[in-house]
Structure 1
């Protein structure tokens, strides 16, 4: 008999890749209030909002999963109050209640976010927070709810995805590929920028290893590739796939001017300008996280930067 895996938020970016990864060898169930991005996953989907506690508990009980990957969340940065991010706080409480009423469960992974700390801030430990967004604040509360729960066994781990990319991605990380395709991405001249991003194929592999390993139970770890990438190098790989040549570089002051223009566009209702001050700061800031403990459990990742980019490019061309 196949083991059962339940993914909340299985219609989202990471969730879609998890469903695809597990569907052939496990019974899978996706709990999401949005239909699947991948239409072929419709048979695995149950339409439910995790804020509906009664229905969430019922679906857990009906399915009796062995493993749970809690990916469901509100992830945009447009909310004005913590109440706007109730899925990230009250929703976590509802998932814990459902877990406690489902005795079949052997392991749970809770997804948080790197934005529990502002971009460029390296926390001293997993309890060191420095958010710059309400979304980040909501994820801090979600982490604290998990750690403070008296009812959970020690069969859980919290992961903080960094900036993940790959098939089925969307705003904001798909914007990078979009801008290079449209030849509007330019790199700040003379700037080497290093990021610990994550190809989703590698990150699904990591999640799978963590799901069946107990060494990091009750800990909080970052979910990303293990090697940093240099942004211009990666942009050149992408550009050569689309256009056969490298990207262009311009002085930083030009990008800052464009970013201010993007800020203005956003204030008048343009939902996703090509660049804003927030995105430019994100681009310019080096991003590194300690993944040593995860590396010891997982070992070598299945895809290098070139391979992950090729897979993503092929998906992009087929779906855009």
Structure 2
């Protein structure tokens, strides 16, 4: 791999991936409409909206990459109704189609990794095969379409799909803005001591897994689907590890019923536009198992190199030393762009 094009490289995972490859014998191009989270990465970026099919194709053919990582997407899971307006997630459907079309039209590309999500199957549902879906939220459904379009694209290159679990680590503004400040102020509480297992992933391990997907022999990864992240973790143990390094204090445990009542209050406040640290959605994520099949990933891509403790230490260091200066990009809604019309010239 000599030239890597990343779509959506200004985000959380992309920032960590670019940092991983910096200094190596590799040309990097980040195709993203948002400024880089890490200002040092801005020279790698070209300002492109993936809804602009012509511009996407132009950048691909100018750069002539031999590998592509497609991360660009709308990733929030705020719309729970599966019959909602899919245009809310148009980047993930039509935007992905533009990227796939550009890959097909660029013969230099030998490898493509397309990003999906664990939300193509809801919590508690274990897929029987790669095309077995039971999506959670409209975001999850949009990523089902991402996967279907990838399979239908008939790409000439080696390709695979990755499904990130809940990823955490440096450059995640979600933890910087919500969990860590609450915990530092002593306001964090956990519902009961019940064992809850969740498929989480330290971003350093996800970067390793993506690198493997981009560089392992084609026969190991072609047309495969890999969940990326770590083996399921006991959620309370993960929270305790963060508390140990962030505050040096134990985690406060409250009765589940009380936390549920607080979450219902959060639902009301959120509905009127006020921020609150816990809602019913977050409560459910703290009390329900969500386990994804990671075994194939570890067998094929290799064991993750970082422990939970290693990852938490690095995330807390980043939070204390770096995160305060990072500007969160404003939400920007993608729209369908008019395509250039073609007119015939009379002979």
Tell me the TM-score normalised to structure 1 length. Answer: 0.94
Which residue is 1:77 aligned to?
A: 77
User: 1:129 and 1:164 mapped to 2: Cα distance?
Assistant: 21
What is the CA-CA distance between 1:177 and the residue it aligns to?
3.0
Which of 229, 236, 243 matches 2:233? 229
1:315 matched residue in structure 2: 318
**d(CA) in 1 for partners of 2:173, 2:125:** 25
Cα distance in 1 for partners of 2:177, 2:211 equals 24
**For 2:184 and 2:134, how far apart are their aligned partners in 1?**
35
1:283 Cα deviation from its structure 2 partner: 1.6
Residue 92 of structure 2 is matched in structure 1 by: 88
RMSD: 1.6
**Residue number in structure 1 paired with 2:102:** 98
Gaps of at least 5 residues in structure 1 are none
Larger RCO (alpha carbons 8 Å, 6+ apart): 2
Does the aligned pair in 1 maintain the 2:92–2:142 contact within 8 Å? yes
Runs of 4+ with >6 A deviation? none
Task: Give the Cα–Cα distance (whole angstroms) in 2 for the partners of residues 178 and 161 of structure 1.
Answer: 25
Is the counterpart of residue 244 in structure 1 residue 248 in structure 2?
Answer: yes
Among 219, 224, 239, the residue aligned to 1:219 = 224
SS of match in other structure, 1:153: coil
How far 1:195 sits from its partner (Å)? 1.6
How far has the Cα of 1:172 moved from its partner?
Answer: 6.5
Are positions 1:290 and 2:289 aligned together?
A: no
- CA positional deviation for 1:280: 0.9
The answer on 1:153 being equivalent to 2:156 is yes
Rate the CA distance shift 1:182–1:303 in 2: closer, same or farther, 3 A: same
Contact 2:111 2:158 in 1 (8 A): yes
1:169 to 2:172 alignment: yes
Shift of 1:142: 0.9
Q: Distance in 2 between matches of 1:169 and 1:258?
A: 25
Question: For structure 1, which segment, 196-205 or 127-136, has the greater mean C-alpha deviation from structure 2 after superposition?
Answer: 127-136
* SS in structure 2 of the partner of residue 238 of structure 1: helix
Inter-partner Cα distance in structure 2 for 1:174 and 1:109: 30
Cα drift, residue 238 of structure 1: 1.2
8 Å CA contact retained: 2:201, 2:229: yes
Paired with 2:86 and 2:181, the residues of 1 have a C-alpha distance of 31
Which one is further off, 152-161 or 117-126?
117-126
- How far off its partner does 1:183 sit? 2.1
Question: Residue 198 of structure 1 is aligned with which of 188, 201, 204?
Answer: 201
Deviation by residue 1:162-207 (Cα, 9 ceiling, x = unmatched): 0000010122786333332232221122311112210000100011
Q: How many correspondences in the alignment? A: 316
Q: C-alpha separation between the residues in 2 aligned to 1:9 and 1:273?
A: 29
Give the conservation status (yes or no) of the 8 Å contact 1:5–1:67.
yes
TM-score, length of structure 2 as denominator length? 0.87
Structure with bigger gyration radius: 2
CA drift of 1:37 comes to 0.5
